A = this chain, B = another copy of it.
């Protein structure tokens, strides 16, 4: 694991009770911390104002047991969440091994994705547009273009790929 490089005035432990994880540049890592812990580390909330409320464990239990499998749209949203986050946490200067693994990951992803027609479309995109794995920025923009390719096919609004860092790494404020 990357050793946290927080500055001295940032909290070490979050409201969740877990150690807060910081990126190599000293920023708290969104994908490693709960939203509340992240907000604590960025000074958006204080620990006193954000104590968690009591969990309704009975209703949680009942709903957990009967949740249906995701449909194509839920699965799509989940998968883009993961893929863009993977790209946003990819090294700025990846090793040869990391570059090779990322290419393999995208190829295998296009073989195992559960929605068969989506998988075929993604496989074709990967074939026609080789994943750009030379840096975090390159990969994040490639992923954004892959997503926009799907957005266009579905008649959805495309995203400005220059904003990838706000949407998938740093947030908007």
Contact = CB atoms under 8 A, between A and B. Distances in A.
A105 B117 CA distance: 20
Interface residues of A, number: 59
A29 B71 CA distance: 9
B101 A32 contact: no
A129 interface: no
Contacts of A86: 112-114
A122 interface: no
Q: SS class of chain A's interface: helix, strand, loop or mixed?
A: helix
B116 A1 contact: yes
Contact of A78 (B78, B115, B157): B78
A128 to B, nearest CB: 18
A35 B98 CA distance: 37
B109 A85 contact: no
A168 interface: yes
Contacts of A113: 86
Contacts of A85: 69-70, 75, 114
Contacts of A71: 30-31, 33-35, 38
A117 B29 CA distance: 11
A2 interface: yes
Contact of A32 (B81, B105, B115): B115
Interface stretch (A5-13, A45-53, A59-67): A59-67
Contact of A31 (B60, B67, B72): B72
A159 to B, nearest CB: 7
